[in-house]
Structure 1
Amino acid sequence: MRHHPGVTAPGTVEEYLTALPPEARAVLDRVRAAVLRGMPGATETIRYGMPAAMVGTRYGLHYAAWKRHAALYPVPVLDDGLEAEVAPLRSGKDAVHLRYGRPVPEDLVERIASAVAARRSEDR
């Protein structure tokens, strides 16, 4: 679903979302809204061919649509309580997968975004 030979990478988040199949678009719209609620004041851009919410000049979270799931990257290991909720959704070290056909855990995505934003601001 992502980059295919001869297909131009999206220049904006809107272009990225508009190009998605309806099911993926519906999920990613909800993921995007939750990320932005969790990162007040974040700006959006395209990085590595996928949407990213930026915290100041630093990246916060990327989110992308794949064939069977949406994903958030990079999601560091979080504090114990939050990590316990995130762990079943992890794929690899720093990705969180949200399968299509299941309810989008918007509150959890918002709390992940908030935790990542707090960590990014501490890193400065």
Structure 2
Amino acid sequence: MADEAKPRTVDQYIEAAPPATRAKLQEMRACLRKAAPDAEETLKWGMPAFSTKRILFTYAAFKRHIGFYPTPAAIQAFAGELSQYATSAGTIRFPLDRPLPVSLIDRIASYRLRDVVENDARWM
């Protein structure tokens, strides 16, 4: 993909997704914005990110899932509740064919924000 075709804003990133995926991205964005209303929203590594003094979390669209990257510590803290989702050290995969678990995403995002504010937790 030529540089001029790459999204330069979060709005462009979401708009470039297929319609069904776009709706999930908008839902994810709204959930994360609610959890971190004062965070700056930018693209990091080509995907939407929310940051304060540190990167809080990123998310991205894939063919079959929305990837959510809230750091390994946040994933470990919610491991029991994430057992029905594919995860790795730093990634949670929410399938596109299922509703986003908005309440869980909100709690994970709030946990990560608190970890940064209270503990100056690093990104990855």
Q: Contact between 2:36 and 2:109, CA under 8 Å: does it hold in 1?
A: yes
- Give the alignment's Cα RMSD to 1 decimal: 2.0
Change in CA separation of 1:48 and 1:79 when aligned onto 2, cut-off 3 Å: closer
1:26 to 8, 14, 23: 23
- Unpaired runs of 5+ in structure 1? none
Q: Contact between 1:77 and 1:83, CA under 8 Å: does it hold in 2?
A: no
- 2:96 — aligned with what? 100
Q: Secondary structure at the match of 1:37?
A: helix
Amino acid at match of 1:100: L
Q: Distance in 2 between matches of 1:32 and 1:97?
A: 15
Q: Deviation above 6 Å: which 4+ runs of structure 1? A: none
What's the offset of the Cα at 1:19? 0.5
TM-score (ref. length: structure 2): 0.85
**2:11 paired with 1:9:** no
Aligned residues with identical type, % of pairs: 34
TM-score (ref. length: structure 1): 0.85
Amino acid at match of 1:52: A
Q: Structure 1 stretch 42-51 or stretch 84-93: which is displaced more? A: 84-93
Q: Distance in 2 between matches of 1:75 and 1:96?
A: 10
